[in-house]
Amino acid sequence: MMVCIQRVQKKTSSMSLTISSSSTSTSSSSSSVIAQRQSSLVQPLCVSPQRGLHDVSTVKGQLVVLECRLRGTPPLQVTWYREDEEVLDSDDFRILQKSGCLYGKELSTLVISEAFPEDSGLFKCVALNSFGTASSSALLDVYNDLEEQLEVEAACLQEAVSPRQQMEAEYQQDTSSFGEGDDDDDFPSELPDSMTLPPPEWPDSPEEDSMPVAE
């Protein structure tokens, strides 16, 4: 009897969100100066795509962790969605919230303890405060086994042909099929590069034929 032991791997994806207020108008009073200093420390609403969520592919039974790093003026309200349906904290989907050491930084984590193919879909993290909203999303694909995952990923890579490669393939196909089935008789024969035409020859007139020949 063969025993198959599968190593459990942790699949992690992270993102960074920034929610902040717009700049306030200046004033000569001390209270407005303090408010202006506070607002100058935060930037307009921004989501960094370099640190956003990334698509995750895994197999059945693996642990999946989605981390969302937040930065903005408290209080921050964070909500997770799967296919536009809110994900609630449960034994299967754990939602953990942790405040950072710096002001206005939080870490929201969605943990799927044991992923199944029916858990596949688009996951989105939405952060909200009094100044605006920011969100980031990622696609989770859960396959039955590693073989199925490799087959699907290989098919996706094969289909992902760049427009330039597609144009080159079409051009090669057109050039290879050019001239096939054409009848050579429909085209005139090639002419030499230089050709000298003979001078025109005029037929003898009847008068010249009737004139007597001088002896």
> Is 49 within a domain?
yes
> Tens digit of pLDDT per residue, the chain (215 long)?
544 444 445 565 555 555 554 444 433 333 333 333 333 333 434 433 335 677 899 999 999 999 888 888 888 889 999 999 999 999 999 999 888 766 677 888 999 999 999 999 999 999 888 888 888 899 999 999 888 888 888 888 777 665 666 677 676 766 655 555 555 555 455 555 555 666 666 666 555 555 555 55
> Is 65 within a domain?
yes
Domain with 137, as residue range(s), is 10-21+34-159
Q: Residue written as tokens 């989105």?
A: 124
In sign, the C-alpha dihedral spanning 160, 83, 16, 114 is negative
Tokens linked to 62:
């693996």
Q: Please report, for the domain that includes residue 142, its CATH number.
A: 2.60.40.10
> Is 180 within a domain?
no
> Is 195 within a domain?
no
> Is 172 within a domain?
no
> Is 179 within a domain?
no
**pTM of the entire structure?**
0.54
> Is 70 within a domain?
yes
Angstrom distance (rounded) from CA 87 to CA 109: 12
Counting the structural domains of the chain, the total is 1
Angstrom distance (rounded) from CA 148 to CA 193: 65
DSSP secondary structure letters along 145-214: SHHHHHHHHHHHHHH---HHHHHHHHHHHHHHHTTTT--GGGSPPPPPS--PPPPP-PPPPHHHHHSPPP
Tokens linked to 145:
């086994």
Q: Any residues with CB less than 8 A from the CB of 140 and at least 6 apart, and which?
A: 55, 56, 57, 58, 64, 115, 119, 120, 121, 122, 123
